[in-house]
Structure 1
Amino acid sequence: MQVRNTTMIATLTLLLMVVGIPYAFGADAPKIGTVNFQKIFENSAGGIAVKDQVNAEGQRMEQDLQRRADEIKAMEERLSKDTGVMSKEARDEQRWEMERKADELNTLKRNYERRIQDLQMRLVNEVRQAVLNVVQAHARKENFTLIVEDIGVVYAAPHLDITDTILNQYNESYAKQGSGSQGPGR
């Protein structure tokens, strides 16, 4: 019985040593970081360029819609002003033309809304991909085990947040690229 207990203790000790020694001497603690993509998008050169480009395109579209709406309004005013001197056929023709333009305006408005959404999604995805490339390069360089987007994190110690570092690196990369593919229209 004594030999059996001694053998079992020796086996357990050996097992613990084999399993425990690598952790005691060589294994680094995992290096973890969090990134706030929303903050990067709102404060980065690429994110600001996306907002500016989408806003400019949206304003151009809005001006076009307003011009067309003004044309329809002018047609309405002409129709109501000239009702007494127009024949029924001419009134009906103008009313039909006005309704056709109003339908075109509504169709164009929906088309513009869809185009703006597509443009915004495409440009935001370009910036996001460029930021992800920066995050991955930073993770490899600094030996991170894991970097997660903070949107799904309930709590993380503030020292884990590497957003400002990534933001600075992305802005540097964006500025260096000039005509590369680091964001909107680049």
Structure 2
Amino acid sequence: MALALGLSHPVAAQTSAMRIGYVDMKRLLDNAPQVVAGRQKLEREFAPRDTALNADEMKLVAMRSRYERDSASMDRTEAEALRREIDALDRSIRRNRDNLRSELKTRSDQELDRSWREINNAVIEFAREQGIDLIVPSPVIYASPQIDVTDQVLERLKRKHANKAGSP
């Protein structure tokens, strides 16, 4: 009995001194300036292709409208040629849209992976500096606001981003 009490005493002492923190990862991923900057970078990168795709879609709408309106009055060869052109443009738009989605997904994953590593490193640095023994990420069933360190980590990420943006 004395041995059991002796062994449990150090464990109880360790647990009472343990510091635990909670981080809402979804909030960090939604609000971290690194993630926001990555999204904006992707928007700029893919905007020209998206604009071109939208222009092709408008052209297709106009061609279909013309076909429906004028096909009865066109000679058969001209109507068939317009129909083939409409079908070819439609296939091209679908192919380009699929390619754009695929490339955007790949680039988004790359940017998110880069941001994810930076966010994790910021959490680890914060925990070490604050002497926190354990950081629990979301989702959790419950975390007291007293142990929520999300705002402090988010501030750290904002400072890091501002320092990076200020560097040449």
Q: TM-score, normalised by structure 2?
A: 0.80
Q: What letter corresponds to residue 157 of structure 2 in structure 1?
A: Y
Query: Which protein has greater RCO, CA pairs closer than 8 Å, 6+ apart?
Result: 2
Match of 1:35 in 2: 23
2:163 matched residue in structure 1: 176
* 1:177 aligned counterpart, secondary structure: helix
Hey, what does 2:108 align to over in structure 1? Answer: 120
Deviation of 1:169 after TM superposition, in Å, equals: 0.9
For residues 131 and 90 of structure 1, do their structure 2 counterparts lie closer, same or farther at Cα, with a shift above 3 Å needed?
A: same
Q: 1:20 Cα deviation (Å)?
A: 5.2
Q: Which stretches in structure 2 are left out of the alignment for 5+ residues?
A: none
Matched, 1:157 2:128: no
Change (3 A) 1:43 1:92: same
Segments of structure 1 that go 5 or more residues without pairing to the other structure are 1-11, 181-186
Structure-2 change in CA distance of 1:20 and 1:113 (3 Å): closer
Q: Does 1:166 align with 2:153?
A: yes
Identical aligned pairs, as a percentage? 20
Return the alpha-carbon distance in structure 1 between the equivalents of residues 136 and 9 of structure 2: 30
2:41 maps to what in 1? Answer: 53
1:117-167 residue CA offsets vs partner (Å, 9 max, x unmatched): 22222212221110101111122222222111121x111211110001101
Alpha-carbon contact 1:57-1:116 (below 8 Å) kept: no
Question: Equivalences for 1:74-89 in 2 at 5 Å?
Answer: 74-79=62-67, 80-81=69-70, 84-86=73-75, 88-89=76-77
Shift, 1:69, TM fit = 1.5
Structure number with greater Rg is 1
Aligned length: 166
Q: Secondary structure at the match of 2:17?
A: coil
2-structure distance, mates of 1:177, 1:93? 56
Partner residue, 2:128: 140
8 A Cα contact 1:31 1:143, kept in partner: yes
Aligned to 1:130: 118
